[in-house]
Amino acid sequence: MSSMSRRQLISAATGMAAAAATPRLAFAQAAPAPASGNGAFILPPLTYPTNAFEPYIDQKTMEIHHGKHHSTYVANMNTIAKDHPTLGEKPLVEVLGNLGSVPDSVRTAVRNNLGGHANHTMFWQIMGPQGGKPDGEVLAAIDRDLGGMEKFQTDFNAAGGRVFGSGWVFVIVDKSGKLSIETRPNQDNPIMDGKRALMGNDVWEHAYYLTYQNRRPDYLKAWWNTVNWTKIAERYAAAKAGTLAV
Ligand code: MN3
């Protein structure tokens, strides 16, 4: 086991203990009061209950993932923004798209924590119960650029499976609506390369370890049952209009 995955496990175990002590609060604590700074960064509340994706994603994983992992990225950004307030005043896309202009002393922390905030904000958004199926323009783009749904899902799962250690697998959408599959390590986000994610899946162990342990491929397959295609259609339209926020 790598030191990274050991840290994640320790982090997950700590989160579990805390969640077990206050099980009913895990969902309600959507937006913890910022520890410091201008409070510019806010944890977006989930729009569905934490048990919405059982049995594909277990409730405890959802509670820890949203209420502990994502909320920590948000809290860290509010701490960083205490000394660097402009980070919280600029649009997220502008900051992540110009990491070179972030002060050296906090650049890596911003990359990791603001990247994590962006990735998870997208992630909660593109999942939902009764997510339907792709149709219209999105389905046409999947057929045209990704070889149809079956090949798309096979290739996306394979790419996610190949990520070594922690990271993400994304569907990138360009301004013309063209789709492609790309992966990123850690909490990197395509915005950092001037690209945009239509959707993506989190392949950090914290996203699946309690149910799937080492079986990341099983998680990748099951995850499709949680995808909200209505929201992805909205994101696709926004990407083509140049208005996609995260
Ligand atoms: Mn995660």
Cβ contact 115:192 at 8 Å: yes
What pTM did the predictor assign? 0.85
Element holding 124 (H helix, E strand): helix 104-125
> Does residue 18 lie within any of the structural domains?
no
> Does residue 10 lie within any of the structural domains?
no
Span 118-131, average pLDDT: 96
> Does residue 5 lie within any of the structural domains?
no
**99-113 pLDDT per residue, tens:** 999 999 999 999 999
Residues in contact with 167: Cβ distance below 8 Å, sequence separation at least 6, in sequence order = 183, 184, 185, 186, 188, 203, 204
Instruction: Calculate how far, in angstroms, residue 139's C-alpha sits from the geometric centre of ligand 1.
Output: 27
Instruction: Calculate how far, in angstroms, residue 6's C-alpha sits from the geometric centre of ligand 1.
Output: 15
> Does residue 43 lie within any of the structural domains?
no
Cα separation, 159 vs 174, in Å, equals 19
Cβ contact 95:191 at 8 Å: no
Question: Taking ligand 1, which is a single-atom ion, which protein residues have CB atoms under 5 Å away?
Answer: 202, 204
> Does residue 31 lie within any of the structural domains?
no
Instruction: Calculate how far, in angstroms, residue 25's C-alpha sits from the geometric centre of ligand 1.
Output: 20
Range of the domain at 78: 56-246
**41-98 pLDDT per residue, tens:** 999 999 999 999 999 999 999 999 999 999 999 999 999 999 999 999 999 999 999 9
**Number of structural domains, the chain?**
1
Asked if residue 171 has pLDDT above 50, the reply is yes
Instruction: Calculate how far, in angstroms, residue 144's C-alpha sits from the geometric centre of ligand 1.
Output: 30
CATH code, domain carrying 60: 3.55.40.20
